[in-house]
Structure 1
Amino acid sequence: MQDAGGPDGYQGYAGNIEFDGYDIGDGDGDRNGDEAGAPRRSGARKAVLAAVGGVFAALLAVGGYGLHNIVTAVQGGPSNGGGAQPSGTSARTPQAPPTAEEAAAVAQDFLATWGRGDVTAASALTDRPETARAALAAFQQNVPARTLALTATGPATTGTDGEPVVGFRTKAEFEGATGAWEYDSTLGVVRGASGRAVVRWAPTVLHPHLTQGGTIAVKTLPDPVFKATDRNGKPLDGFPSLAAVLPMITPADGEAVVSGRAVVLSATGREPEQLYVLTPPSAPQVKLTLDAELQRVAEEAVKQQAAGGKPASLVAIQPSTGHILAMAYSPSGHNRAVSAGQAPGSTMKVITSAALLEAGVTPDTVVPCKDTTNSPRQWHNDERGDFPSYTLADDFSRSCNTGFIDKGLEKLQPGTLAKVAREQFGLGLEWHIGIDSRDATIPVPRSNDEAAAAYIGQGTIQVNSLAMASVAATVQSGRFRQPVLRDDAERVTAPGALPAGVARDLRAMMARTATQGTARTPMAGLTGQIGAKTGTAESGGTTTNSWFIAYRGDLAVAAEVDGGGHGFAAAGVAAAQVLKAGGKG
């Protein structure tokens, strides 16, 4: 029975804004929020963290282009002060779109000429030569890379408008800095006025986050920079999901520090986004708990499931230590993996089951799975029909909503779910993982309808992939260990403990779900100690959100895909990829 809840050398632009008291360049705005609130900042060294995470000083010298021309170029408008488009601009005609072969050829030529710094030749290969030339020249000037490599990442595909699109990867290296700035982007190809294939010019050709009026520039940092490495000392540069995370990392007290520079994107109405830190070789190292190889797998898993614009995230934790081994999310910018707040769907049944087991229900207790039930709101399951002989273990593995609602209303008092979540799983406590994060919220229900929704992970419960990965880790190890991104992070402990018998029963039910229940398809082929729970959360529209939590040996994972459908589908596929790469029996 499936779950149903009531189921990225070269240039940017100059200007001035004020942000936290520092003059940092063009553009201003607010931090992106979340579905249901903003994340809480980590408690340690807030001043340094804020400075490193988003406060920048003196913009590197900008020459050759005035602000008006630069912004006009980025916006994709005329570079001649607003007059008619220069000759060479394509006109939309009823000609057939370029073929994939034509698109690949012009994209290769464009990327090659741009990469060697010939902005005039590159811009001539676009439908807006003057606009493109100004923007490419500005990018070359304000993001002064030592080398710039631009490589197509695959054959041309068909875009939503029927015209070909070519993906490419940008890799920029800078003098006096370690590592390289890398990111993926795309460009569209159209027919120009002459009928030949040309690149459709848009700000996103420079960077996928760049919009009209936005700017990119290398800026100096007023505060220290550090080289973040993974648990094995490997560099963490180049991971899209870590671009906004690494700038938040601060050194240990008393550690020597050096200053550096960063590539910063600014846009009207948004807080400046730090795209990449140019870390000097002399910068001290800060070791994180992340595993670079597992992070690579997590990034790819999330990228696959986020195709088509679905927001998604994944967190992997080591149950025996609480170490965060990977965190990935899409789209970039707002770290939904640790800062979102969403209903978890039926993955919440792990905690509801813990409460029921403590209340005297056993895995073998008969808990009928009725076709519908009322609280007085009517609830149903995806798998329609009555299953009067189902036990609690059956309800869990088949994800029966009505059984959990009926037994929850019978056995549990208002507030019991929140108490068990807090005291045994650490949800609702104030976590300090080493960067900004958002704590789980599990309110006390005010009615039977609210209680029924909570028992199956709907209603006002707000969690994220970090919180639910911790739930899976707690079941696997039998003990809550607050997740951390670095060993010196401040930890909290749960006021209670998960009873050994309850942990044993939960592991048994999660194992059954992974091998015989709703999680069996994504978990197929995984060996050793495994367990899983699917979740499908209603989002207020016609689509549902896909949730999946699981463990394999000393690795626990949670994944969610907004609009991904059933838990065993999108989120389950992503989580299983990570478990296969890093889990051991």
Structure 2
Amino acid sequence: MHEEQEHTGFTDHTDHADDGDYPEHEDEPRRRSTTRRVVLVAVGGVFAALVGVGGYGAYNLVNAVSGGSSGDGGGDTAAAATPSPQQPPSTEQAEAVAKDFLSAWGRGDFTAAAGLTDRPEAARTALTAFHDGVPTTSLALTGTGPASSGTPSEPAVGFKVRAEFDGATEAWEYDNVLGVMRAADGRTLVRWAPSVVHPKFSAGRTIAVRPLPNPVSKPTDRKGRPLDSFPSLRGVLPQIAPADGAKVVTGQAVVLSGGGGPQDPEQLFVLTPPSAPQVTLTLDADLQQVAEEAVKQQSAGGKPASLVAVQPSTGQILAMAYAPQGGFNRAVGGGQAPGSTMKVVTSAALLEAGVSPDTVVPCKETTYSPRAWHNDEPGDFPAYTLADDFSRSCNTGFIDKGLEKLQPGTLATVARDQFGLGLQWHIGIPSRDATIPVPGSKDEAAAEYVGQGQIQVNSLLMASVAATVQSGTFRQPVLREDVKRVSATGKLPADVARDLRAMMAKTATQGTARTPMSGLSGQVGAKTGTAEAGSGQATNSWFIAYRNDLAVAAEVEGGGHGNSAAGVAAAQVLRAGGGKG
């Protein structure tokens, strides 16, 4: 008992007559007689006060004075008395001990606070650990009165905690409850439990201020809308790094850990929130949704597919979708032969070489390089012009005129200098550049003029080709505006751009692209592509087009003719987002 008094600060229970404590060590005659004298002197003046705070103190004090044994009424009477049954603490007693406990805790006297509990050592250890783990600049603990969670034998007192921290944006406040009990020696004590520190605190858990994990930047679209719900972007967004010089701020929080449940660790209060530099992408969430659906429809049955939409006036990438999702991003990282969509670049080279859209370029049923080449459309058409060959996608006409007018490497030069293909783009995420090698033979040259052979491109690159024709200027596509773009060393001549637009418009309204482009108003242009995939394999479907200030390229592996699978997907996006000039 003496050891407990030393921890709690209680040195003499006779000084606390209102608690009704019995004097200790009744076998010491000198102390016993002193105690008796104090009680006898005090009884007249204290009795009424004890009655006011509850009957037990008064009852116990009367018994201590008036006897209880059949002794001679001397100094042994109190020692011989039989203690009366314990009575529960009154509301006033509960609030009084709660006030003293909270006051000691709040001023950092954990020994005194713990001494007012039924488990001093456990309480002192927990309060000290809380103080060390949660370093506050101020801690205010205020009683709020009786709590409904109490029982008749153990009333409960509510209290409010307000903790302030250096650098925190606001104070941490929470409500809590402590129980009050009557100890065997008659004292009113706080029933200690870990939950006294915090309602969610329990044995085996810890509360401490911890740094929060570094935040992950969640890029938004051009209007600040979230993008993480789009399947094609789930693998893209983690590749978006903050701008150069931007700092990630690691926050701090009061964290409850050690429970082992689904919320372990659990944040109880954030002192300083983490922050990551906001990155705004050029994507448009509305158009991205349409692109996702278009690719999903055309990739049904397991056909890989992709689509990219670009704004010609700015070069901004507005949508990017591919299937299957969750893996390789074929929309910007793929490499395939583009089929007849490459005839846009071949036409630019021929126009610069002196061929006009009205120049007669016969479309033979078969031509040789010396390899034999055929067309999708059977028959000979000796009166076809270059514009006719373009709109009808005649392979033989382009091969013959290309072999006649162009030098080896010319196609690659025009593609690089005027369309920006092969210039090592930096769009904001890893992407693949075009491969257009210098042909080593006439067969290789013939293949390149119609988008076959060793040419490798993807939807991003071919969307840029369509955008360059529409605007007349190559603007390297970007996914974010803060990246450094490359510029083409040359410029598409104005008359060449004009003629290409006229040829693409004819294809969209009268040629192979007329079915998917049907009903689209405004400035429109398109080119279909059907790329050979190997003996016995279905051809790959390609389609590039623009409508006003929106250019699109789509490809579907094994999708057949360009005006079917890829054309349908591209037209869906143009219909949704290309209505404005």
Q: Same fold (TM over 0.5)?
A: yes
Provide the residue aligned with 1:568 in structure 2.
Answer: 563
Aligned-pair distance for 1:250? Answer: 1.0
Provide the residue aligned with 1:434 in structure 2.
Answer: 428
Q: How does 1:18-33 map to 2 (within 5 A)?
A: none
Provide the residue aligned with 1:550 in structure 2.
Answer: 545
Provide the residue aligned with 1:243 in structure 2.
Answer: 234
Q: How does 1:412-561 map to 2 (within 5 A)?
A: 412-541=406-535, 542-561=537-556
- Aligned to 1:313, the other structure's residue is in SS state strand
- Aligned to 1:533, the other structure's residue is in SS state strand
C-alpha contact (below 8 Å) 1:450/1:459 kept by paired residues: yes
Aligned amino acid, residue 313 of structure 1: S
Aligned-pair distance for 1:281? Answer: 7.8
Q: Distance in 2 between matches of 1:222 and 1:517?
A: 57
Q: Distance in 1 between matches of 2:345 and 2:250?
A: 46
Q: How does 1:370-389 map to 2 (within 5 A)?
A: 370-389=364-383
Q: Distance in 2 between matches of 1:254 and 1:378?
A: 58
C-alpha contact (below 8 Å) 2:212/2:274 kept by paired residues: no
Q: Distance in 1 between matches of 2:313 and 2:247?
A: 32
- Aligned to 1:287, the other structure's residue is in SS state coil
Q: Distance in 1 between matches of 2:275 and 2:402?
A: 58
CA RMSD in angstroms, aligned pairs only: 1.6
C-alpha contact (below 8 Å) 1:225/1:259 kept by paired residues: no
Task: Give CA-to-partner distance per residue, 1:313-335, whole Å, 9 cap, x none.
Answer: 00000000000000000011100
C-alpha contact (below 8 Å) 1:302/1:330 kept by paired residues: yes
C-alpha contact (below 8 Å) 2:335/2:456 kept by paired residues: yes
Q: How does 1:99-138 map to 2 (within 5 A)?
A: none
Aligned amino acid, residue 225 of structure 2: K
1:356 to 350, 360, 368: 350
Higher helix share: 2
Q: Distance in 1 between matches of 2:412 and 2:247?
A: 44
Q: Distance in 2 between matches of 1:419 and 1:225?
A: 42
1:305 to 298, 321, 328: 298
Aligned-pair distance for 1:403? Answer: 0.2
C-alpha contact (below 8 Å) 1:302/1:329 kept by paired residues: yes
Provide the residue aligned with 2:100 in structure 1.
Answer: none
C-alpha contact (below 8 Å) 2:365/2:379 kept by paired residues: yes
Q: Distance in 1 between matches of 2:324 and 2:443?
A: 34
- Aligned to 2:219, the other structure's residue is in SS state strand
- Structure 2: stretches of 5+ with no match in the other structure: 1-210, 252-272
Aligned-pair distance for 1:301? Answer: 0.2
Q: Distance in 2 between matches of 1:381 and 1:443?
A: 24
* Residues 400 and 255 (structure 1), Cα distance of their counterparts in 2 relative to 1, 3 Å cut: same
- Aligned to 2:480, the other structure's residue is in SS state coil
Aligned-pair distance for 1:571? Answer: 0.2
C-alpha contact (below 8 Å) 2:310/2:319 kept by paired residues: yes
* Residues 386 and 289 (structure 1), Cα distance of their counterparts in 2 relative to 1, 3 Å cut: same
1:291 to 284, 291, 294: 284
- Structure 1: stretches of 5+ with no match in the other structure: 1-219, 261-279
1:317 to 310, 318, 333: 310
- Aligned to 1:379, the other structure's residue is in SS state strand
- Match status 1:406 vs 2:397: no
Aligned amino acid, residue 523 of structure 1: M
Provide the residue aligned with 1:265 in structure 2.
Answer: none
Aligned-pair distance for 1:282? Answer: 4.2
C-alpha contact (below 8 Å) 2:250/2:275 kept by paired residues: no
C-alpha contact (below 8 Å) 2:249/2:274 kept by paired residues: no
Q: How does 1:204-215 map to 2 (within 5 A)?
A: none
The number of residues matched between the two structures is: 347
Aligned amino acid, residue 564 of structure 1: G
Pick 1 or 2: higher relative contact order, CA cutoff 8 A, min separation 6.
1
C-alpha contact (below 8 Å) 2:467/2:551 kept by paired residues: yes
Q: Distance in 1 between matches of 2:489 and 2:278?
A: 35
* Residues 403 and 223 (structure 1), Cα distance of their counterparts in 2 relative to 1, 3 Å cut: farther
* Residues 222 and 450 (structure 1), Cα distance of their counterparts in 2 relative to 1, 3 Å cut: farther
Aligned-pair distance for 1:253? Answer: 2.5
Aligned-pair distance for 1:540? Answer: 1.1
* Residues 461 and 477 (structure 1), Cα distance of their counterparts in 2 relative to 1, 3 Å cut: same
Aligned-pair distance for 1:223? Answer: 5.8
Aligned-pair distance for 1:581? Answer: 0.3
Aligned-pair distance for 1:355? Answer: 0.3
Q: Distance in 1 between matches of 2:554 and 2:412?
A: 22
Task: Give CA-to-partner distance per residue, 1:425-446, whole Å, 9 cap, x none.
Answer: 0001110000000000000000
Q: TM-score, normalised by structure 2?
A: 0.59
C-alpha contact (below 8 Å) 1:339/1:437 kept by paired residues: yes
Q: TM-score, normalised by structure 1?
A: 0.58
Runs of 4+ in structure 1 off by over 6 angstroms are: none
Aligned-pair distance for 1:485? Answer: 0.3
